[in-house]
Structure 1
């Protein structure tokens, strides 16, 4: 799989919520090393092993990001989304209300970290591979 915007978009269409580990694998197969999703600005930045980046328009939340993050709420939102109970735009809105403005996927470490406005990692999860 090539590291192109089209390949990335195709992978996002194919794999959602419960299929996140498959999306992660597709990203890895493209040579991607990281993905940063910023729901406050509505951008996603993808970086590959050659330090090439692709910036794409993503979901921009309509609610302001909560000033205070809530770890238990973030974990509950993640659990419901990973079980397929919410669509991605709803997931993003709920994360904003729980104080998360971006998440960072480290492909090499196999982690996804959810970050608040104070630049603190609120939840970091290992991605099943």
Structure 2
């Protein structure tokens, strides 16, 4: 099974959102099938086969999530992030400001779903191959 150290080594290669597909490929090779990210605490939980899970420690100071979602602005800034125009710390702050509380990446379905504070789906995107 995989370790947080292996995942962090894959994360170290990521500079902008444009690097995300390569990162997903790398962690899938480790055996990750899905992961969640909690924006307020910056904690990640990585899921493997047969219920295997590992979780990270917080990487950033805790931040508050806006109670109202601005889905249109979020999608604009998500696109810019994916084009390499922002780094991950900025992306997290932007998510919080636009009401995004968490996301889940499903590597088998090749989707990323973003959620609000109540756990409602805000936006689902397909991950390019």
TM-score (norm 1): 0.92
CA distance in 2 between partners of 1:64 and 1:27 (Å)? 29
**Deviations, residues 15-71 of structure 1 (Å, cap 9, x unaligned):** 341011111111211111111000112210001113111100244465420111111
Structure having the higher strand fraction is 1
Matched residue, 2:86: 86
Matched residue, 2:51: 51
SS at match of 1:50: helix
TM-score (norm 2): 0.92
**Deviations, residues 87-126 of structure 1 (Å, cap 9, x unaligned):** 1011000100000011100111000111001211111110
SS at match of 1:57: coil
Report the count of equivalent residues. 128
CA distance in 2 between partners of 1:36 and 1:7 (Å)? 17
Matched residue, 2:39: 39
Matched residue, 1:10: 9
Aligned Cα root-mean-square deviation (Å):
1.5
CA distance in 2 between partners of 1:47 and 1:62 (Å)? 23
Unaligned segments of structure 2, at least 5 residues: none
SS at match of 1:96: helix
SS at match of 2:125: strand
